Amino acid sequence: MKAIKFAIFLFLLSCGVFCGKTRGVEIKPYIVLMPGSPNELFSFDLVISADPQLSAQSFKATIGSVSGPGVLTFDVAASETVGGESAYWVFGNSAGATAIDNGDGSYTFGDGPNNGVAEQLLENDIMARYAFRWDGTEGDYTFTLDLNTDKSYIQLPDFVSKEALQLPTGSWYEYPIISADSSSFTVHVPEPTTLILIAMGGLALLKHRRP
């Protein structure tokens, strides 16, 4: 029996050494902007939520699909506003951050390993920003990440090895994020506040005009 247990231990140990187990880098969405009227920006960052104790050359994150009762139009320029040492993880990368509308309902934010120097990954570092123009339709919008390591990954200093991205487990979310699972999260976007203010203003005018 002891021999069998020892053999299992050696097998697991060899797997850990030679099989290249992927640890994964845990990220969490953080709501940056909520729209107050149609055509205003809705945006969120993907932030490192647990210290991975890694350094990396580059990364890529892909939103595979967006669904909801209205239309969210990807805004490339607003997505690329994450820049500079104080805001964005890979600030030393000469290529900079690039946001791409892939044209098939998916959106990519990433960079290229052009600086030649790995940067340490730290908790609360911003990895990616996604900004959309909102059409004004209230409701629940679900964002699904494409966690295939060809589409979403952290590239390690050897320029070859990759770590997968992953969302936290458990009930980590809070309003306006109303639900989440291993690959997606849902945000409730409320009705436009400006329309409410307009309606209140109209009522005030009517009251003022009464004899």
Q: Looking at residues 56-67, what average pLDDT do you find?
A: 93
Q: In degrees, to the nearest 5, what angle opens at C-alpha 146 toward C-alphas 35 and 144? A: 35
Residue 53 has pLDDT above 80, yes or no: yes
Q: What is the pLDDT of residue 6?
A: 39
pLDDT digits (tens, 9 = 90+) for 177-198: 999 999 999 999 998 764 455 4
Q: How many residues does the chain have?
A: 211
CATH number at residue 59: 2.60.40.680
Q: Give 20's contacts (C-beta < 8 A, 6+ positions apart).
A: 161
Q: In Å, how far from its chain's centre is CA 102? A: 16
Tell me whether residue 11 is in a domain: no
Tell me whether residue 12 is in a domain: no
The DSSP output letter for 203 is H
Name which of 21-25, 42-46, 142-146, 185-189 the model is least confident about: 21-25
Tell me whether residue 10 is in a domain: no
Query: Number of structural domains, the chain?
Result: 1
Cα atoms in the Cβ-side hemisphere of radius 13 Å centred on 166: 15
Neighbouring CB atoms inside 10 A of 74's CB total 19
Percent of the chain whose predicted confidence (pLDDT) is above 90: 52
Phi, psi (deg, nearest 5) at residue 8: -65, -40
Residue 200 has pLDDT above 80, yes or no: no
Q: What is the pLDDT of residue 125?
A: 87
* Sign for the pseudo-dihedral over CA of 79, 85, 90, 95: positive
Tell me whether residue 96 is in a domain: yes
Tell me whether residue 196 is in a domain: yes
Q: What is the pLDDT of residue 45?
A: 93
Residue 17 has pLDDT above 50, yes or no: no
Q: Which domain holds residue 137?
A: 22-209
Residue 69 has pLDDT above 70, yes or no: yes
- Judge if pTM exceeds 0.95: no
E strands within the chain? 25-33, 41-48, 55-56, 58-67, 72-74, 98-101, 107-110, 119-120, 126-134, 139-145, 153-155, 162-166, 177-180, 184-189
